[in-house]
Amino acid sequence: MVADHNTTISRPLFKKTLKFFGKTLLYFLGFVALYLLIGFCLSKITVHNEPNAPDEMAIYILTNGVHTDIVMPVKTPYVDWSERLPFQNTVSANKAYTYIAMGWGDKGFYLQTPTWGDLKFSIAFKAATGLSSTAMHTTYYRSMRVGDSCKKIMISHEQYQKLVAHISGSFRKDSNGNFINIETDAQYGNADAFYEANGSYSMLTTCNTWANTSLKVIGEKACLWTAFDSGIFEKHQ
């Protein structure tokens, strides 16, 4: 009789548990679907505040298929990025570079997830919910080759100065106003380095949202909002 009594109790409990997890899964899938739908719709809306700005210099947007970087000349009359982001902070310490790519993102993703196979639930959860810190990833290049993953954007000198101010504000600074280098061996190659950043990464503010906002700040074609690189690159075919 005892066994029958336990069986009678466990069956309703099992059904309730199964129903709970079923509803939770449906809610999660519904949330993801809504997130993707909203992201798709907002990325199709183009904002462009300065359509008639003169074409005085080139910048680039660069993607690895997931993440968007903003690429600029290393040296211009307005800024020498190599003074703020020394070549010595890269593995090679090579000074023969003319372009620098910058991207903002979750620090855990950058430093602890070299491949998708290394992704841990704790890192993904913190990134999605805005609980972790952020970093700037900078990469030096000798030249840029325009193609599907790299697009040239012509902007004015005034726009570039706005871009420099915006990107500089994304870096955390020490008491002397210097960008804070992250000493790590997690670099992706011989010409990149990581720096502490301002802001909090989340599902609403991703690496691509940051890049898109950078274009919005200077009045270039951008999405109303996007979490993905595809929306940005559709504007610059």
Give me the phi and psi of 58, to 5 degrees please.
-110, 140
pLDDT at 8 over 70: no
Is 198 among the domain residues?
yes
- pTM for the complete prediction? 0.86
Q: What is the pLDDT of residues 137-160, one digit of tens each?
A: 999 999 999 999 999 999 999 999
Q: What is the pLDDT of residues 64-76, one digit of tens each?
A: 999 999 999 999 9
Is 25 among the domain residues?
no
Is 74 among the domain residues?
yes
Q: What is the pLDDT of residues 187-207, one digit of tens each?
A: 999 999 999 999 999 999 999
- The structure tokens 């910048």 sit at 59
Is 17 among the domain residues?
no
CA distance 82 to 88: 9
> Which amino acid type is present at position 70?
I
Rounded to 5°, angle at Cα 177 from 173 and 182:
35
> In sequence order, which ranges of 114-219 are alpha helices (DSSP H)?
121-129, 157-168, 207-217
CB neighbours of residue 223 within 10 Å: 25
**pLDDT value at position 1?**
47
- Domain boundaries, position 206: 46-234
Is residue 106 within 8 Å of residue 201, measured between CB atoms?
A: yes
Q: What is the pLDDT of residues 32-63, one digit of tens each?
A: 788 788 888 999 999 987 778 899 999 999 99
Number of separate domains in the chain: 1
Is 169 among the domain residues?
yes
Is 56 among the domain residues?
yes
User: Residues with Cβ < 8 Å from 10, sequence gap 6 or more?
Assistant: none
Is 63 among the domain residues?
yes
- The structure tokens 């991703």 sit at 206
Is 167 among the domain residues?
yes
